[in-house]
Each structure stands twice: as structure tokens, then as C-alpha cells.
Amino acid sequence: MKKTTLTTLIGIAGTLLLVMQASAATTFSFSPANISVKEGQEVTLNIAIDPHGVKNYTVKTELNYPMDLLEAKSFSFESGWIAISRAGYDVMDNSNGLLIKTAGYPGGISGVAPFGSVSFIAKKSGNGTVSVGSNSLVLDATSKNALDSAQSQIAVVITPATVAPTSESSPVPAQQNAPEVAPAPTPTVGEAAQQTKPIVSQPATSSTLLMAALGTLTFGTGKTWIGILSGAVILLIIILAIYFFTRKPRDNKQ
């Protein structure tokens, strides 16, 4: 009975130990949690390490990203990390959408710590994912890979670039030509002489004198009967004057 109880307790302790080790597996975290940008914009993805209390000393991060949507431009480590630049440990391959960065931390880390930042350019609109590759690893004090096998991935959403609306300019009305004015004909020598010839006043005709006299007899009224009456009166006066001055004086009878 005691032996069975001891075996059970050992089994429970082993299970708890395995659970504790599983819960202590190192994970990656990303900021922002998802990439959402417009075409042509630049976005920075921050990578952090969470050892869950177990000291980690070396980290190899492998990221897979959609090469048709994103182009990696640069990567920078956070302070305190010593980069390992060896073949297979330091890769930036935009043709295959692969980024590998490896660094060690002297003295190790046991809490959440920033690892580095990668800058991407959004090449075109579309949807995809950025995920942690299977070749990633995190080494503890015994050089054992403490990285959790189940790693999350983040979504990538790239929308078309916003095109600024162009202001439609009002159509410029067609310029209306002014009506053509035919130039005045140049006068000939004879016409020029006639144009420059001084105007000589014509002598008054008999009809003109008659109209002027009639206008005088009407006293400016323009009425014909007044003119006739005035003329008759004047004629009578003339006749009387002729008679008076031409008659012979009679001899006085004795």
C-alpha cells in the first residue's frame, strides 16, 4: 500500500515538473500585434523575448514574411545584445522573405527583454502573415533550446495608397476672335486732290433769295399768308410813294 502511494506521488511530481518546464518555455512577442499600413508606407516591427523566469543566454530569431508584400530594409539590436555575424545566423533575404538575427546576452536574461527592431516597406496592397521560423532557438545555461515550439504569428494587412483628389479646373473658353474690319482703301492721287480741294461757297440763286425774302416778310413765323399780306402792304406803299413823288402839282386858280 505504501509502495503504491509513493509511486503515485512520484508520478504527480513528475507531471508537475513537466508542466512547470512547459510553462517556463521562452516565447517571442511582437509590437505592434498586427501590421496594418498603406501601400508605400514604412512600418517597424519590435521583437521581445520572454524567458518566463528561466535564464536565457543566446537567441536566434528566424522570421518568415510575405516577400511580395513586405521588403525588409534594416534591423537593429537593442542595447546589451552582442550580435553573432556568422553564415546562417545573420540573414536578410527579401527574395525568399527570410530574416535571421542572432545575438548573445552576457549574464543572461530571465525576464521580458526587447531583442531588436526590423523595418519593412509595404510594397503593394494585400494580406499575409509574419511568423517565427522553425530554425529559431533560445539557449539556456545548459545550451538547451528553451524556445516554446508553439509560436504565434501576426497578420499583415496592406491597403492601397490614398490618391489625393485632383481639382477639376474649369474649361477655358475658346478665345473669340474680334470681327475683322476691312482696311479703308487708300485714296488715289486724284481722289486725294479732290478731298483736299477747298469748298467754294456757291452764289445764292433767285429761288434762294426769294425764300430768304419770304422768310423776312413772315417775320420768322413761317406762315405764308403773313408773308403775302406783308408783301402787299409794302407794294402798296411803294405805289403810293411813286404816285406821290411823280404827280404834277396843279396850278392855283386865280
- Domain borders along the chain are 25-159, 207-243
Q: Which of the two residues, 14 and 156, has the higher pLDDT score?
A: 156
Q: Is the pTM of this model over 0.75?
A: no
Residues 6+ positions from 32 with CB-CB distance below 8 Å:
45, 154
Q: How far is CA 183 from CA 113, 187, 192, 246, in A?
A: 94, 12, 17, 74
Residue corresponding to grid cell 386858280: 253
Residue 15 confidence (pLDDT): 39
Which CATH number fits the domain 25-159, given the four candidates 2.60.40.680, 3.20.20.210, 3.30.1110.20, 2.70.180.20?
2.60.40.680
- pLDDT, one tens digit per residue, over 180-234 is 656 666 655 555 555 555 554 455 455 555 565 656 656 666 666 666 777 777 7
Q: State mean pLDDT over 72-87.
A: 96
